[in-house]
Structure 1
Amino acid sequence: MAKLILATFAVVFMALAATSLAGDPDMLQDVCVADYKSLKGPLRLNGFPCKRIENVTANDFFFDGLMKAGNTGNSVGSVVTAASVESLPGLNTMGVSMARIDYAPWGLNPPHTHPRATEIIFVVEGSLDVGFVTTANKLFTRTVCKGEVFVFPRGLVHFQKNNGNTPAFAIAALNSQLPGTQSIAAALFGAAPPLPSDTLARAFQVDGGMVEFIKSKFVPPKY
């Protein structure tokens, strides 16, 4: 009996461990199209609640937002158009998403992380210098050309930069319906309420005036 109890505990533990490593929860039905309207009520959960199946249509599984290039006329020279559960309700519980990344000449997709997903990019046009940094602060970087693929491990800081004087774009795939994106610079210098300037000054080993100058470049989010 004791061996049976131990064996049962081991199986349950392994199942729980496997679930905790999954990017998104596995679904228990064919589809669970996101019902955005229900979020106006008191219901909250890890993901979106499901539409009633009789209200689901083919359009819930369709998104044409990656057809056109995004506007790269900003301070960093890049823009990301996401096909996540927020724009494609049929992705709910599917554990996948995509994005189109457009780069102006020499444009940069600044250092950022996806806390819930590994990302793989396919360069469609142009050539990119890409890289990621491990938790041991080791940088892995290389040039990725048209038709080539590069992968960024889940949660690690990474970036892409157009290394040419013509526009470029890439398609990214991620193993989460809502991978999340945390820009390192915006998180530190554009948080609301703001991080203490003396904390940032000590962390970056610069004076407080420089920190305030950098903060002035970022608009804190509104909640």
Structure 2
Amino acid sequence: MAPMNLYSLVLVVVALVVAPMTAMAGDPDILTDFIPPAPMNGMPMNATGDYFTYTGLGPVLPLPTFALSKASMAEFPALNGQSVSYARLVFPTATVNPTHTHPRASELLLLLDGALSVGFVDTAGKLYTKDLVAGDMFIFPKGLVHYQYNQGTTTAIALSAFGSANAGTVSVPFTVFGTGVDDAVLAKSFKTDLPTIQKLKAALTPPKK
């Protein structure tokens, strides 16, 4: 009996350790059906049907560059506590959603129209890629660097669902070259020279107003 009791004790300890980690992996649970809207101008707001409806994505128009329309907690406050959000992605021909990560959620992309080449890199440095056609879905695991690229001849349109009301987005090119990291650090990190780093920074740093 002693070995069985020891085995049971190990299982209990593992469960106690893993359970809190699992609970922290996503948005925190809420104790109500939803979080009512905050007061506006000092006046309390009632949760009407309009509060649960978001119409901000708008129609798909001809666009010259990649465009992203989000319905996250910032744009749609009713998502607060619901652990879900959406984005619509529109890719004209030869446009890309540059390498980026979502630190708080996985992304499930559904291609509605056109074709997309997508990929992500895991923590072992392995690249996973796929060419998608309309109706295909692809999962980008939480926190991993990924991209989408339209190599086709027509506009591609996709919807992305996130397992968080506030998935967050970290742009790899902008974070590395557009946030003020020292030129010498970047030159040594990428094994290149300062003029190359300065050229990349100039292209990715917004002009000062």
Structure 1 length as normaliser, TM-score?
A: 0.80
Structural RMSD (CA): 2.6
Question: Which residue number corresponds to residue 20 of structure 2?
Answer: 16
The percent of aligned pairs where both chains have the same amino acid is 36
- The answer to whether the Cα contact below 8 Å between 2:27 and 2:165 also exists between their aligned partners in 1 is yes
Report the more deviating stretch, 213-222 or 174-183: 213-222
- Distance across 2 between alignment mates of 1:30 and 1:117: 21
- Distance across 2 between alignment mates of 1:18 and 1:120: 20
User: Aligned pair in 2 of structure 1 residues 71, 211: CA closer, same or farther (>3 Å)?
Assistant: farther
Deviation at 1:59, TM superposition (A): 1.6
Are 1:156 and 2:160 an aligned pair?
Answer: no
User: Any gaps of 5 or more consecutive residues in structure 1?
Assistant: 1-5, 39-50
Question: Which residue number corresponds to residue 29 of structure 2?
Answer: 26
Q: 1:58 aligns with which of 24, 44, 49?
A: 49
Deviation at 1:14, TM superposition (A): 4.7
- The answer to whether the Cα contact below 8 Å between 2:36 and 2:46 also exists between their aligned partners in 1 is no
- Structure 1 counterpart SS, 2:93: coil
Deviation at 1:104, TM superposition (A): 1.0
- Distance across 2 between alignment mates of 1:70 and 1:207: 42
- Structure 2 counterpart SS, 1:59: helix
User: Any gaps of 5 or more consecutive residues in structure 2?
Assistant: 1-8
Q: 2:123 aligns with which of 135, 141, 147?
A: 135
Deviation at 1:70, TM superposition (A): 6.2
- Structure 1 counterpart SS, 2:60: coil
- The answer to whether the Cα contact below 8 Å between 2:111 and 2:135 also exists between their aligned partners in 1 is yes
Deviation at 1:35, TM superposition (A): 2.8
- Distance across 2 between alignment mates of 1:36 and 1:141: 46
Q: 1:114 aligns with which of 93, 102, 106?
A: 102
Question: Which residue number corresponds to residue 125 of structure 1?
Answer: 113
AA at the equivalent of 2:126:
K
User: Aligned pair in 2 of structure 1 residues 98, 107: CA closer, same or farther (>3 Å)?
Assistant: same
Deviation at 1:33, TM superposition (A): 3.6
Deviation at 1:205, TM superposition (A): 1.2
- Structure 1 counterpart SS, 2:157: strand
- The answer to whether the Cα contact below 8 Å between 2:37 and 2:47 also exists between their aligned partners in 1 is no
Are 1:206 and 2:192 an aligned pair?
Answer: yes
The number of equivalent residue pairs is 198
Deviation at 1:69, TM superposition (A): 2.3
Are 1:147 and 2:139 an aligned pair?
Answer: no
- Structure 2 counterpart SS, 1:55: coil
Larger CA Rg, structure 1 vs 2: 2
Question: Which residue number corresponds to residue 197 of structure 1?
Answer: 183
- Structure 1 counterpart SS, 2:204: coil
AA at the equivalent of 1:81:
S
